[in-house]
Homo-oligomer: A and B are copies of this chain.
Amino acid sequence: LKIGIINITGYAGAELARILSRHPEAQITTITGRSEAGKKLGQVFPHLSHLDMTIAPELGDSVDVVFSALPQVASAEAIVPLVRAGIPVVDISADFRLKSAEEYQQWYQTPHPAPDLLENSTYGLTELYRSNIKHSRLIANPGCYPTGAILALAPVIKEGLIEPDIVIDAKSGVSGAGRGLSLTTHFSEVNENVFAYAVEGHRHLPEITQELARLNVDFRPSPLFQPHLIPMTRGILTSCYATFVSGVFKDPKMAAKQVRDLYETFYNKERFVKVVSIPPQTKQTWGNNHCLIYPMVEPRTGRLVIISALDNLVKGAAGQAIQNMNLMLGLPDHLGLEGVAIYP
């Protein structure tokens, strides 16, 4: 399989290259990067010098599948011709995640660059949409926060167990903000510090809301999503708080067990989504494609707490993108993704 990566020079792009360079069926054959074209990949990312490739200004010919790690808008512009030419594409940007062009315009303050393709795109939360992904040619790879939040909440929403007023409190490492420079990712500002950001509304909120709504036609989610930045490089921990619909458990004492059973059954066959029995740590997913989920019923209030952990650059970006590529191309979805988390 000949792979093209558009914009390899960001963290998601570099992570695609890291994982794909050990994928048994894939070969990266062409890579682009806006400002670094002409450089050797190893000059930009010394840890990837074993690939011995040069960053090109444009994708070369004859690729079997393309990943785009460009920011939104630029991504759509780059991949639309590929999609129209029938090349399978996994778009890591936000361009094809929201199904409504109006909502896209509202959140990204620009008209959608290719609204006619919205229908053709598939939201790539692999564990929930595996069969659609297999038949799609354009995958909208989920955001890092939505991946952690939706996987955490899907089982109880599908079953209609919780009320719509969910609280999603997420704590993210700094690499989620990318490789672009800003004062909020400047070491001395972030180290020994924690703060909430995007209090007026994070762009991942409409994505979360849209996807939670798709899970159950009778459910109109009203999530309150608050992200926080913490002083580490990789990882997102998402703590979700919800109230059970009154009467869904005949015996409230059995709620905890029933919820756990539900989660274990729901993710029973999944290799990358693990229902764990002690609260997960992001370090347990450092560098691999796992999402660890811990559901519990808080004993005093009887409310639901679900905590999920993942690596924002792997299951939250490049890893899930490769998982989706595997499915699109008829491969087992875990191919090339079996790395063990690096701990400590």
User: Which A residues lie at the B interface, using CB under 8 A?
Assistant: 11, 14, 18, 21-22, 45-48, 50, 165, 167, 169, 171, 173-175, 179, 181-183, 185-197, 199-201, 205, 222-224, 226, 228, 230-235, 237, 239, 241, 243, 276, 278-287, 292, 294, 296, 298-301, 303, 305, 307, 309, 338-344
Q: A174-B187, A188-B174, A340-B48 are in contact. Are A194 and B230 (CB under 8 A)?
A: yes
Inter-chain contacts of A237 with B (CB < 8 A): 194-196, 228
| Contact present for B199 and A284 (CB under 8 Å) | no
Q: List 21 A–B pairs whose Cβ atoms lie within 8 Å, in order of A's numbering.
A: A11-B188, A21-B340, A45-B343, A46-B281, A47-B286, A173-B188, A173-B192, A174-B188, A187-B191, A191-B192, A192-B232, A192-B286, A195-B280, A199-B279, A199-B305, A201-B299, A205-B300, A224-B241, A286-B342, A287-B287, A287-B342
| Contact present for A343 and B14 (CB under 8 Å) | yes
Contact partner of A279 (CB less than 8 A), chosen from B45, B167, B175, B197, is B197
Residue from the set A14, A48, A173, A342 with the largest chain B CB neighbour count within 10 Å? A342
Cβ distance A52 to chain B, nearest Cβ, rounded Å: 13
Smallest CB-CB A-B distances: 4 pairs = A193-B283, A188-B344, A181-B181, A195-B281
| Contact present for B179 and A340 (CB under 8 Å) | no
Known: A174-B191, A185-B188. 13 other contacts (CB 8 A): A46-B280, A169-B239, A171-B228, A185-B187, A192-B234, A194-B230, A196-B307, A205-B300, A222-B301, A224-B241, A224-B305, A234-B344, A241-B241
| Contact present for A231 and B228 (CB under 8 Å) | no
- Kindly state the separation between the CA atoms of A344 and B196 in the bound complex, as whole angstroms: 17
Inter-chain contacts of A292 with B (CB < 8 A): 46
Inter-chain contacts of A285 with B (CB < 8 A): 47
| Contact present for A182 and B185 (CB under 8 Å) | no
Inter-chain contacts of A197 with B (CB < 8 A): 279
| Contact present for A194 and B282 (CB under 8 Å) | yes
| Contact present for B279 and A231 (CB under 8 Å) | no
Inter-chain contacts of A185 with B (CB < 8 A): 186-188
- Kindly state the separation between the CA atoms of A110 and B309 in the bound complex, as whole angstroms: 35
| Contact present for A47 and B230 (CB under 8 Å) | no
| Contact present for B299 and A235 (CB under 8 Å) | no
Inter-chain contacts of A283 with B (CB < 8 A): 47, 189, 192-193
| Contact present for A181 and B179 (CB under 8 Å) | no
Cβ distance A222 to chain B, nearest Cβ, rounded Å: 5
A242 to B, closest residue via Cβ:
B167
| Contact present for A175 and B192 (CB under 8 Å) | no
Inter-chain contacts of A235 with B (CB < 8 A): 192-194
Contact partner of A340 (CB less than 8 A), chosen from B50, B195, B222, is B50
Inter-chain contacts of A282 with B (CB < 8 A): 192-195
Inter-chain contacts of A239 with B (CB < 8 A): 169, 196, 226, 228
Cβ distance A341 to chain B, nearest Cβ, rounded Å: 4
Inter-chain contacts of A173 with B (CB < 8 A): 188, 192
Inter-chain contacts of A307 with B (CB < 8 A): 196, 199
- Kindly state the separation between the CA atoms of A224 and B167 in the bound complex, as whole angstroms: 12
Inter-chain contacts of A342 with B (CB < 8 A): 18, 47, 286-287, 342
- Kindly state the separation between the CA atoms of A174 and B187 in the bound complex, as whole angstroms: 7
